[in-house]
Structure 1
């Protein structure tokens, strides 16, 4: 795999969405997204502004080290901020897996953006990164995210415990 090439790339635009790397200039949008209790209802708690900045910096580190991370999503037609979606290495019961993750602004949920973005990230993982397996790590009560995982071809595989001790459902497939 050509690491330099991969570090420059983001998933191809979809019919309605574009992807780009997060920067510190995105702090207002990311703080609003990660601080929204509706968006973060399946997480231990919403993040504050400093935690949102740390989130951006964590992703910037992933871009440098891995060539991928969570990318900022915008509408192609208007440039409006939609959320984030991407790929991250995650430890699941002692094994590092490539996970697809997605978050969409509460007022934009239900429009298929998460499915569209996650499918593009799945394709990017398979076609550009040459990944052989992809997972989604989802809280058991988060049925909307489970539906997205299933729609992009990641069926339920097993129940597990997250690294912070919470129950999760692993959706996974070979690519």
Structure 2
């Protein structure tokens, strides 16, 4: 099901049929260098199913990105509930396939999700949780209107992350 369309992208619910595309990026050590480790194929399927539960329970999750020009898989972007420092926050998250990085697609998708959070959910705030070394993700957050709010280690044991945020 298509959720959003931008100038160059369709954002839609991911399904089990997307496993090969997601396993290719989420299983890639270079792509996943800012995460504890790459996902196995089985873990990727669990992650897809988690997002499908999020769609049912919250009306949102991470959505598959498809390039309109040619139908190419471009990654994912969307909104999830994340607990940070004991508070549930609406997080704007994105993973853009290597072939489409540095093309502005991540920012285009992130802006669409930010706007959807405000207009469809009535959200008043979104955050992005970003590894301190992930400069590309930080640029996307800044280009989407988020600013660095704080650093915390309370997101995961022994893991420092940066919290970018914006009021909507």
TM range (shorter): over 0.9
Structure 1 spans left out of the alignment, 5+ residues: 1-7
Cross-structure match for 2:23? 31
Cross-structure match for 1:103? 95
Determine if the alignment matches structure 1 residue 70 to structure 2 residue 62.
yes
Deviation digits for residues 140-160 of structure 1, max 9, x if unmatched?
111110110010000000011
What is the CA distance between 1:28 and its match in structure 2? 0.5
Cross-structure match for 2:141? 149
Determine if the alignment matches structure 1 residue 163 to structure 2 residue 156.
yes
Q: How do 1:1-175 and structure 2 match up within 5 A?
A: 10=3, 12-161=4-153, 162-175=155-168
User: 1 or 2, which has the higher strand percentage?
Assistant: 2
Q: After TM superposition, where is structure 1 displaced by more than 6 Å over at least 4 residues in a row?
A: none
Aligned residue pairs, count: 167
Q: What is the aligned-residue RMSD (CA, Å)?
A: 1.1
Distance in structure 1 (CA, Å) of the matches to 2:19 and 2:131:
26
Per the normalisation by structure 1, the TM-score is 0.92
Structure 2 spans left out of the alignment, 5+ residues: none
When residues 164 and 55 of structure 1 are mapped into structure 2, their CA distance, relative to the original with a 3 A threshold, is: farther
105-114 or 52-61, which moves further after superposition?
Answer: 105-114
Q: Secondary structure at the match of 1:128?
A: helix
Distance in structure 1 (CA, Å) of the matches to 2:136 and 2:60:
25
Deviation digits for residues 97-156 of structure 1, max 9, x if unmatched?
000000011122111111111111001101111101100000111111011001000000
Per the normalisation by structure 2, the TM-score is 0.96
8 Å Cα contact 2:127/2:165 also seen in 1: yes
Distance in structure 1 (CA, Å) of the matches to 2:75 and 2:2:
19
What is the CA distance between 1:163 and its match in structure 2? 2.6
